[in-house]
Structures are given as C-alpha cells and as structure tokens.
Amino acid sequence: MSRLSAVKPAYWISGVLLAIAVVVPLLVSTYAKDEPRLWGFPFFYWYQLLWVFLSAILVSICYKLVITEERKRRAAEGLGDPDKAGPAKEGDQ
Amino acid sequence: MNHSVDWVQLIIVTLIFGAVTVMGFMAARWRSSGTLDNLDEWGLGGRGFGTFITWFLLGGDLYTAYTFIAVPAAMYATGAISGFFAVPYTIVVYPIIFIFMSRLWSVSHRNGYVTPADFVGGRYGSKALSLAVALTGILATMPYIALQLVGMQAVFETMGLGGDNLLAKDLPLLIAFAVLAAYTYSSGLRAPAMIAFVKDGLIYLVIAVAIFYLPDVLGGWGSIFDAAEAKLTATNPNTGRPVGAFVPGESGYSAYWTLALGSAMALFMYPHSVTAVLSTKNRNIVRRNAAILPAYSLLLGLLALLGFMAIKANVDVRGLDGIPNPQLAIPRLFDQEFPSWFAGIAFAAIAVGALVPAAIMSIAAANLFTRNIYRDFIKRDATPAQEAKVSKIASLLVKLGALAFVLTLDKTLALNFQLLGGIWILQTFPAIVVGLYTRWFHRWALLAGWATAMLFGTLEAYNVINPATGKHFGGSLANIPFTDTQAYIALTAFALNVIVVVVLTLVFRALKLPEGVDSTHASDYRADQGDPGVKDLPELLDEGGPSPAKS
C-alpha cells in the first residue's frame, strides 16, 4: 500500500486517462446505432471517428503530465534533458 | 470486362516507382559518402530518428495495403464488423503503446537489444524463450507481408496486367513479388524511412481527392451509407443470413471489440514495429508520437468508407479470371471514377504504400533470424559479412513464405492474413510486455503458455472454414469455447496463454525451479538518451543487416 500511495499524481491521472482512451471506444453497445446522423454519417461511424480526436487529446494531456514529471525526476537525479541534448534540433510540434 | 492494359496508368506507375527507388538508393549512398552527417534528422551514427521521421515510420507500419486495400475490401464485402473495427483498433493502439513502449526503448538502449527476442532472452535468461519469440515474429510477419503482396496484385490486375489463362492468372502476384524481392535485396531501414515521406505524401493527396471528390460525384455521404445499408442488410441467398453488418447487432459486439483490442495489442509486438520504435532518438519520441499518430486513424476511417463508395458506385470486382475479388473494389473504384492519369497516381501510391512496409517487415524478420537464431544457435562466431549474407537470404525466404501464404490460403478477404498473423504474434505479449514491468512470470511457464496458445490459436483458425470456398483459415473469429460468444481467436488464445502462465508460474515457483539470470537492471527501464550506459543502436539503421554492437 505504501508503494501505491507513493505513485505521483501525474502518473495515476495519466493511467486513468489512458484507461478511458482504451476502454470507452471498445464499448460497442454505447454506439452501435444509426441515429442521429451527422452529414449523412450514421452515429456508429461519426462517433468512432470523433474518438480519434478525443483519444489524441487524452494522450496529449498524458504526455504533458508524464513529461513534466519525468523532467523533474531527471533534474532531481542530476541527469540531462535528452530533448535538448546534442545539436539535433528538429522542427517538430 | 476490360482486358487490355491501361498504358497511361502503367507508365505513371512505372515512373513514380522508378523515382521512388532512385530516391531510396540515393539515401543509402548519401550515408556512405558521409554527407548525411549534415542531416541531423537522419541521425547518422545510429543516433536515431526524431519525432518527425518517426511519425512517418510508425505510421507506415499501420498505413499499408491493410489500410488501402484490405480494410475497404472488407467494408465492401461484409461491412462494419470485419472492416470498421480497424478504426477503434487504431484508436486504442496509441494509449497502449504510450504505456509500455518507452520502457522497451530504455531497456533496449541500455543493453544493446535490437529485437524483441533480444529483450526476452536477456530478461529471462532463457535462449528457448528468445527462440520462441523470434520464431513467432518471423512466422507472423509472413501473412502480413502476404497482405501487401495481395494489395500490389490488386493494383496490377486493375491496370490490366495478367489474364484468365493459367499462366497469366498469377502474373500480377509474381510481378508484385519480384518487385519486392529486388527492392529489399540491399537496403537498411534508412531507405524505406526516406521513401515513407514520398509514399505518405502521395497517399494524402489521393485520399484528400477521393474523400472530397467522390461523395460529390456519387450523390453525397447520405446516399453512400444508404446504398451500403441496402447491400449489407440484404439476405445472402447462399447462407440465408445477412450479407454483412451495417451497424453491428448485439451478437456482433464481442467480435467487434475483440478484433479491435486484439489487433491493437498485437501491432507493436511485430518485429518491424519494434524496430521502428527502437530506431527513435530518445525515450519520449514514442510517447509524443502516440499523441500525434491518431491523425492516421482518421484517414484510415475515411479510407475504410471508400469500401462503401465502391458499393454505391457499383464497381465490377470480378478479377481477370472472372471470380469476384473484393480486394479489387478500391482500385476499380479509382479506375472507374477518375481519369486514367489520376488513377495511375493512386495506384502508384497504393503500390509504393504496400512495398515500403513489406520491405521494412522482411528486413525486420530477417534480422530476427540472423540475430536470434543464426547467431545464437547455428554459428556463434559469425563474422559481420556472414551475418549480412544470412540476413539477405533470410529476407528472401521470409518473402517466399509470404508468397506461399498467398498461394495456399483463402484470400477472399486479405484482411484475414493480418488477423492470422495477429493470432500468433499476440502470444508473445506476456513475455515482452509483462516482462517490462515484472519478472514474476516463470520463464518456463511463459514458454508453456506460448506453446499452448500457439497451438490452440492455429487449430481454431484452421477450423474456420469459408463457406464460399470451403477452405480452412477462412476467418479469424470463432466462438469462445463452451459459449456462443464470437471473439477474435487471438484474444481467446491470449487469455488461455495468460491462464497457463499464471498457473504454471505458481507451480514452478513452489517447486523452486531455476529462474534464470536477469541481465537487465531496474534502472534500465527508465534510462534515456545521454544517460550513462545508454548505447546507440546503429545496426537498426544501416545496410546489410545486423552487425555486432561496436563498442
């Protein structure tokens, strides 16, 4: 139990968000219907496509949470930041 | 039926193919002349790929003939359950890899692991378990490559190559095979990664046009869905049951979500996916990609719906041999609705989009053979030159294996190839993923669980008989034993696997059987680039297959 309580909030919040992103899109009974349609798309189809965005948002939040926590941990352990290491700087994000 | 070759399409496809190939070889030559040093993103010295390249490389694992041919074909033929599950599959795969892939990156880069079998061998101190993982990886990759061959075949056939006599019937397939074999004879991961840009660019162009232009021509999304509903809910005179599913009924729920979850858990067990993940520059690039890769899922969903457009457009899917082949739905749709030159571009996109992943897959499977079978069991003191040679031969054998799958198995729905591979590869999940967190599972229990599940899964899949062709391996869904609930065999076998592993672990631990030596350390799982002991893995990227880690 003491180990569980030592888990940082960033990690367990991420865990919950990721669990939502995995479980909810698989609850077929919640979306296996035709109506309401959107631009001609039955609910079954547009709802799942909507989850592409919801999932991306949830995972992005987890990324921010986990990265912030990991930077803190690395700083505390006196390790460098790999994203800033070396001359390679890519035009990402 | 159009039996003549469409020369405009053929010329465009050949030109684009040629250009892409030249680019690939240029990428490899740049490297050897040293000027690639200037391109940081290419990460010379095995520094690895950054977020941007990784996005293309990982997306490429998913974005193959599977997406472009197989999923829409399944949508065309039987609708939502066997096709649209790919959307939740590609939605849930990213949260799943977010959780464990960075740990695999860390432990691999600290210990010089290049394949999943390397990790399992090191973690459990068991050569046998490592061999099991390697064999499964090679076996499961073959049907996945087979799917790419079927995709290329569909394109060549639509262009009019081939015919209905015995000799010409398999011509498109043989062309596809020859192109792939020639292409991967000398190539590391670097060339396919570079080509992935071009490939994805072409694919985006084609999808954008198809998605905005086709619904307009065909009378709008509403009428496309209505046409699909009419076809899929009609009764099939042969079976007395509906042709397919437009919106899954209650009995289809379990099939739908198990297909999605099973495929998602399986995807990153494939050797080529692991290779792509390990070739990233640091631990978090995978996670960052997990947040931005879902863009692919959206396109996959829209592509899947092209299958419904093919229904609405009433395309003729009879092959040159006169037998209906749903895999022709998308190429024929393009052929019918677009001018020849644009259909040519689309076909080139599909062909390159099948070729690049097939190349990456066969390279990864060959490396698995060389590292974990040849070097571990056959010739321990192999020289790098010998290994490179073995890799090339292994790569060719893997492709021949894929060809054998195409020729012998039922290919009514090419999607089944990938699902069959999934049944096998998912059985390495307990050893790999659980092993990233705990060493509680006993190595021999893992081996027994793997063997049981492989046997069970293969038998179950063998017993699925396609009612139309009477062939075995006709599908990947079966009732869960002792129930009427249909599920993806991979997941049922996986559950059996886990039960066997847990029970036997308890037994073996009680008997105090030797656990083997763990050559990894707890701190390895969180290490990042630049930390002490974290190595680059140059053999992932370079030509000629694996070479011993240079220290």
CA distances from B440 to A56, B409, B437 (A): 33, 39, 9
How high is the pLDDT of residue B29?
Answer: 58
- What is residue B483's DSSP assignment? S
B224: chain A residues, CB-CB within 8 Å: 40
Q: Do A88 and B528 touch (CB under 8 A)?
A: no
Chain mean pLDDT for chain B: 80
B371, pLDDT greater than 70: yes
Overall number of domains in chain B:
1
Range B369-386 burial, b when 16+ CB lie within 10 A, else e: bbbbbbbbeeeeebeeee
Cα–Cα distance, B290 to A59 (Å, whole number):
7
- According to the model, what pLDDT value does residue B44 have? 29
Q: What is the pLDDT of residues A23-67, one digit of tens each?
A: 988 888 888 888 888 888 888 889 999 998 998 899 889 888 888
User: How many angstroms separate the most distant Cα atoms in chain A?
Assistant: 56
pLDDT of residue B260: 92
ipTM: 0.81
What would the two tokens of residue B399 be?
């492709």
Contact criterion met (CB < 8 Å) for A42 and B253: no
Is B546 within the bounds of a domain? no
pLDDT score of B258: 92
The residue of A22, A69, A93 whose CB has the most chain B CBs within 10 angstroms, and thus the best one to mutate to test that interface, is A22
Q: What is the pLDDT of residues B32-43, one digit of tens each?
A: 444 333 333 332
Q: For residues B399-412, give the mean pLDDT.
A: 83
- Is the per-residue pLDDT at B278 higher than 60? yes
* Res. A76 pLDDT band, cuts 50 70 90: confident
CATH number at residue B160: 1.20.1730.10
Residue B400 maps to a domain: yes
Asked if residue B533 belongs to a domain, the reply is no
For chain A, domain boundaries: 2-76
pLDDT of residue B137: 93
Q: Which residue of A has its CA nearest to B248?
A: A32
**B252: closest chain A residue by CA:** A28
CB interface of B with A, residues 97-116, below 8 Å: 98-99
Give the length of chain A.
Answer: 93
Confidence class of residue B455 from pLDDT cuts 50, 70 and 90? Answer: very high
Residue ranges making up the domain that contains B234: 7-527
Cβ proximity of B248 and B80 under 8 Å: yes
> B61-65, B134-138, B324-328, B329-333: which has the minimum mean pLDDT?
B61-65
Given this model, what pLDDT does residue B39 score?
31
Each residue of B80-123: pLDDT tens digit? Answer: 888 889 899 988 988 888 888 888 888 888 888 888 898 899 88
Q: Is residue B500 part of a domain?
A: yes
Q: What is the pLDDT of residues B304-351, one digit of tens each?
A: 888 888 888 888 777 777 777 888 888 888 888 888 888 888 888 888
> CA of A65 to nearest chain B CA: how many angstroms apart?
12
Q: How far apart, in Å, are the Cα atoms of B426 and each of B454, B460, B491? A: 9, 15, 8
- State how far the Cα of B246 lies from the Cα of B260, in Å rounded to an integer: 17
Contact (CB<8Å) A25/B41: no
Span B277-301, mean pLDDT? 81
- Alpha helices in chain A, H assignment, sequence order: 2-5, 9-23, 43-76
What does pTM read for this prediction?
0.85
By residue count, chain B amounts to 551
